[in-house]
Structure 1
Amino acid sequence: MPRTTATAKELDPRARQLLRTLISRHIRDGEPVGSQTLARHSGLAVSPATIRNILADLEEIGLLASPHTSAGRVPTAQGYRVFVDSLLQLRPLPEGEMARLREELPAGTGTQALLGSASELLSAMSHFVGVVSVPRREQFAFRHIDFVPLDAGRVLAILVFADNDVQNRIIQTRRPYDAGELERVSNYLNRHFAGRPVAEIRATLLRDLRAARNEMESLLAHSVELAEQALGGDADGALGEGMLSEGMVLAGQTRLMGVQELSDLERLRELFEAFARKREILQLLERTVQAPGVRIFIGEETGLAPLEGMSLVTAPYVSGDRTLGVLGVIGPSRMAYDRVIPVVQAAAEVLGAALKS
């Protein structure tokens, strides 16, 4: 999480309590909060006039704003930043919801199914958009491969990975291969490389080819050509749902249509277009992949114009000593952070454990 701003440390206890109460009420009700409301709910023995003076000070330093149509105030993006960094009180996710995560993200499930379930769960539990970046295939070992000739220049590669994911990939070859040649290559790869990471297989094949002599040279050359394409990351020729070639799984975009802050249809259209492109949001997720723990981007901190007024809460999911990807929730800056942060944190832990198994 980004460091607490200097203004948070400079606030006196009364200002901190009023800011915490105002933001909590605004998140709950979605309305500007006035001094009378704060006098009733802040727990401070101060007059509304004193509260108004403190609110004016908070507005002056950029933590609050006054909508023209109301005497109340609302938090700014900087105000939300101070709130999540130093005023928010977090509790662990209830055991019943942890059990739901473990039940719906069970170990032994294929990666595509786990990622889809994780994004759906994040959306359902937060009521906003759930997002999960997809691990690169190079991070997984492959278990078995078969090749099937299709026509003169195309071969179907059927790959089974160690995480139970099955992918069918159509690859272009420099020359035709008959069924016997393809069987010899698949037998060689399965015998010598099953259980090894994809990137390691390509490097080893090239090294062996340079050292090969006589009859092995032809087999290795064919193995290099076919394996280079079949195991070459997230190939364009992958068949099926395509989640692993898109880099990111999203769920719950339509939940944003009922969000008060997104009532402007043009604003909503820009946001949905950003979801459809995926590229910018995926780059934002990748910025956090090596950062431990929960990260929160508020408004312009995302660097993406369509996410103005939105927040992204992320956490990396880890299997063993490998960070496989990042998951998170995208929603309005007026979100219940005390609810969303534990959900994101717990989902990352459960997804990592499921993939490790």
Structure 2
Amino acid sequence: MLDDRAKLLLKALVERYIADGQPVGSRTLSKASGLDLSPATIRNVMADLEELGLIASPHTSAGRIPTTRGYRLFVDTMLTVQREGLQAPALTPDQPQKVIASAANLLSSLSQFVGVVMAPKRASVFRHIEFLRLSERRFLVIIVSPEGDVQNRILFTEIDYSQSQLIETSNYLNTHYAGMAIEQVRSRVQQELVSLQGEIAALMQAAVQVSSEALTEDHNEVVISGERNLLSVSDFSSDMGHLRRAFELFEQKTQLMRLLDVSSQAEGVRIYIGGESQIVPMQELSVVSSPYEVDGQVVGTLGVIGPTRMPYDRMIQIVNITSRLVSNALSQSK
């Protein structure tokens, strides 16, 4: 546990480093903290903070900088966020894709970092399904969504099926399961396998699996805006290795999907500080994220990605307000 004096000095050090980007010395810290302490006393407290792993001393400087652990303590216990004062234009109710793209741009322009938005999750529902025989044990599955989107998938089976079996299977699926979420269909098919013919049951299971993949793969889109903003951040522009790794993260998107998916399960704004876990693998990056809703249901996540040395109080405001704007725009455009 830190005493009040150590907390005040750590808070002042983190805030000064976020503002200037330079290691903080004891004289600067004395002025920034407003505490009437001798340089020797401040140096002793800084030595204690360093021993606790909250600050570190770069080789080239006598000053100190916050560590990941120091940022985390600052964010969790010392951060005060103004709830008013940030002005952001409303997002126009429109098609979800356009609202999401506008939100990513808004996050980027307000933060001057990278805006990222995970598109709304939709229920994986099919309206109609049918089979077309292509060759022996090779079939085309045609899946039509409620919105009229058509997906085609090739299905390979262990045994061959006759045209009458294909028709029987598609009729059964369309009669009993059309309009249901694919997860429900999979569960029901599993329960009803006993009453179905073995061959038809196997075909039905395979069809449900490829339908699930077809209906979900294009929904979890991540929209990213403002990657070039990192070029003007000194923490990245001075180290091409950091910059390259950041751009690789944006390009792959898989890691971002994982992060945003975790964020959607939490309430309110979450802060992920680089290097704390595998979710944000880069020590130089932090993510401030929040879920957004449609009609009271969480459907996606958005956030700001920037350097670990970011003004967290302002980022929290930006993410908070954008989350509300997206929720309003999507709820009105239904």
Same fold (TM over 0.5): yes
Amino acid at match of 2:212: G
Q: CA deviation at 1:91?
A: 1.2
Amino acid at match of 1:323: V
User: Which residue number in structure 2 is paired with residue 48 of structure 1?
Assistant: 39
User: Which residue number in structure 2 is paired with residue 251 of structure 1?
Assistant: 225
User: Which residue number in structure 2 is paired with residue 309 of structure 1?
Assistant: 284
1:232 paired with 2:212, answer: yes
Verify the 8 A CA contact 1:274 1:306 in the aligned structure 2: no
Verify the 8 A CA contact 1:157 1:230 in the aligned structure 2: no
RMSD of aligned C-alpha atoms? Answer: 4.3
Q: Secondary structure at the match of 1:302?
A: coil
User: Which residue number in structure 1 is paired with residue 91 of structure 2?
Assistant: 103
1:25 paired with 2:22, answer: no
Residues 125-164 of structure 1: matches in 2 within 5 Å?
Answer: 125-137=110-122, 139=123, 159=145, 161=147
- Percent sequence identity is 38
Tell me the alpha carbon deviations over residues 189-236 of structure 1, each in whole angstroms, 9 at most, x when there is no partner: 79x966x65555777899999999xxxxxxxx9xx89x9589635449
Residues 68-87 of structure 1: matches in 2 within 5 Å?
Answer: 68-87=59-78
Paired with 1:53 and 1:208, the residues of 2 have a C-alpha distance of 72
Change (3 A) 1:109 1:135: closer
Verify the 8 A CA contact 2:124 2:215 in the aligned structure 1: no
User: Which residue number in structure 2 is paired with residue 64 of structure 1?
Assistant: 55
> 5+ unaligned residues in a row in structure 2: which ranges?
none
TM-score (structure 1 length as normaliser): 0.71
Paired with 1:260 and 1:168, the residues of 2 have a C-alpha distance of 47
> 5+ unaligned residues in a row in structure 1: which ranges?
1-6, 213-220
Verify the 8 A CA contact 2:264 2:298 in the aligned structure 1: yes
Tell me the alpha carbon deviations over residues 72-129 of structure 1, each in whole angstroms, 9 at most, x when there is no partner: 21111111111101111101253632xx1x335x2x423x222222222222221222
Paired with 1:348 and 1:128, the residues of 2 have a C-alpha distance of 17
Q: CA deviation at 1:44?
A: 1.9
Aligned residues: 323
Change (3 A) 1:82 1:306: closer
Change (3 A) 1:168 1:114: farther
Verify the 8 A CA contact 1:93 1:343 in the aligned structure 2: no
Amino acid at match of 1:232: S
1:170 paired with 2:152, answer: yes
Paired with 1:89 and 1:309, the residues of 2 have a C-alpha distance of 23
Change (3 A) 1:76 1:93: same
1:124 paired with 2:109, answer: yes
Q: Secondary structure at the match of 1:132?
A: strand
Q: Secondary structure at the match of 1:117?
A: helix
Change (3 A) 1:22 1:279: same
Tell me the alpha carbon deviations over residues 306-332 of structure 1, each in whole angstroms, 9 at most, x when there is no partner: 412211222222334533222222211
Residues 186-265 of structure 1: matches in 2 within 5 Å?
Answer: 197=181, 199-200=183-184, 228=208, 232=212, 234-235=214-215, 244=219, 247-262=221-236, 263-265=238-240
Q: CA deviation at 1:15?
A: 1.9
Paired with 1:201 and 1:355, the residues of 2 have a C-alpha distance of 28
Amino acid at match of 1:25: R
